[in-house]
Chain A
């Protein structure tokens, strides 16, 4: 069976759907193929326990570009992002650090741990904000090719140079430091309190196979700070109904432009003829044809699994093999019979609405990374735990709760072998034990627990090694180096073949920017009118 489309997008994750929506909006006949029986990729909510919805991959929302939300009318299609504030890092000694949403309250809490740090916190905030302001305007732009003499690349390079220039001498020096330093070294320059450093450092390692003292992790923190909820930069929120509602709204928007989504359709191969993409062959043997084929799979999966090496330049194959996309995290999704109590923290505290962590020092977090290097899960992991049902009533029955536990670190292989059922049980127990150390009634409230190792995430979602960003967010793999030098403008090595995943600029975190930016390039190549909005001006 063959059928011809204008464009085929492989993978109904948020970037694939975004890309598809913009191509369909431009008038193309677009098909999105999804291997699973449901859409969303890692932007998904599933009912794995009756009446409970789990956002069982991505779980919070901040980076999703407001330009896209507005332009694709996602609110009309059902998307609502509700900000949450605050957070807690529990200390071993029974105390905790409360990261209050209210600024003055936050500073008083910082001062409780160190008066000097309260003053340093304001400097830290301003410095982080300076750097996010440098990056934010480039999220909705295609990275320039620094070696190209094309007018467009020269213009974009000039924009880049101007932005750097406007940072001033000290700001620019800070930029270099931010992009290269470890988050541990960086925070050590501001703060003296262990727990405050530990609380802030989490954003530097999430989803990254690096430790708090590994160079490059300071940028990963910036990546988590450059989003916003309604202009409040650095704020995070819950997508009401779970992260699946992001994919649902995108799919409705796409379908409103006439697009088609086909689930349960795993792509086996991108068909290339005479150096041109011609369509895809499905695992079931079907062939679907289009002159535009867009891969929303990560670069490794794209070039090493669904393309024939013979169709590709040798350097691309090598670069794909070398692409760093290491599995480093796992996830527990838990249905709770009620709201657990945390020692020392009143249930009414506004801090309860935010994220909870149980690692109170950088050395502890570094040791968690040591376990990963030794090819096992962290014995005292860094977790990012949230109970979204305190804010979002749609995820569980009234009075019941859903807990999302992101766990760092979990290796792609355990001691060189695949994860066994025993390993998985051990991993799960480690995490549940850690939480129950701070919440005595937690274990008794558990109705159901879904535990996901990097292997599970790879098998189900398709993310290589279960890497949530589709490639590490280190400087060597950013901007015009993402995914590889020479291929950062969303065009693949084969004519008509494109990339739109988080493995391209500006990276992962449910931004939808890669999908939109890729659509702009495709439409340009087709000489069609651009349907992709430009970025908002920050000033």
Chain B
């Protein structure tokens, strides 16, 4: 009896159970018998698409071309607090307390696409991989990264592609809405051929007499991928007029962020909240925008709103915990990290953070335990961070020898660990090895031109040695990285006096 079961029914059943490969195989069998079976064809296209489907709202990463040659943002020099490019008007702890990422933005408590990179100031910064990211930036977002993220077009199939996109007659398919939608998703997600997808969508929306919001959203997605943000905005807005959908609101907000209009983006999300009150994805999106603008207090407020409706949101918990840690309330951070632990998250980063929180909240009996676990879980590149944190504890209890060893181990594990270089330089200086301290600070400056500590340390060292010129050039970099750093400003003043006096 089982043999006689309808193949189409089985394929559908597999599809429902998210067994897409089996479903696609069965559809292939049906299509071998009857190449014109539209149902099988559509189901196969959908199964193939589902295998590689990624959420367009989440997975966006800016490429080098977009971030360096940015021509869509409205103002090159924006007013404070209205741009993602330069962090001005930030709230929350200063860089002296909370470290910053390459773009000068406070480190976020949760890694997601875009948090590590930001908008680089120079081409070299754009090309260089940030220490904590470990994947380089794509050239443009329209190219390779999406190939890797979610398409199968790279994988060669033995008997040619399922649908030969270049030979399709789009106007024929556009006239049949049920097939067209499936075909569009296949081309867009599976083949990653945005141009052809756009052509199909344009024809289809015309066929639908511009009354189908779904096609407008798809058109917007295509424009977005092609970097035509104004057109995308227009399509999304038009779609929203017909039908307010969560997805569309999120996409529209995303477009505004790409155009460097974060306030407009927030306004869009807030409008969405009126229609979909307490929606988690909208709340998270608003929090993220605040986070990227460096407004940590606001971001924390929104993350708390997220937790009210969704108590197990990892991103919200982690971000709030990081914020509490850096605003001098590590005891609350412990609570939040413990909650993550209870939720079953069991990784190096969590233990590493928990260890440091315990130390600063004076729960000493837990500290080393956490670090020990982190060490046993860590891979090479995470190992550097764990040793670095242990060195903090060692410095705190006055064991310089252990701190020195830990920092050396951090550098051995991760050759680009700037903070470790900086701290090691200070320890070397205490040991009296000035040359090595200088050399370590120089490498730190080379690895991370965005942080201020090593620039300031190098400037102080050079000033003590009487090398005013080096000191001056370093302290200028330090002031550029952290304009409010009082010690740097004082040093700059002293140097100016040196230069001006007769």
Partners in one complex: no
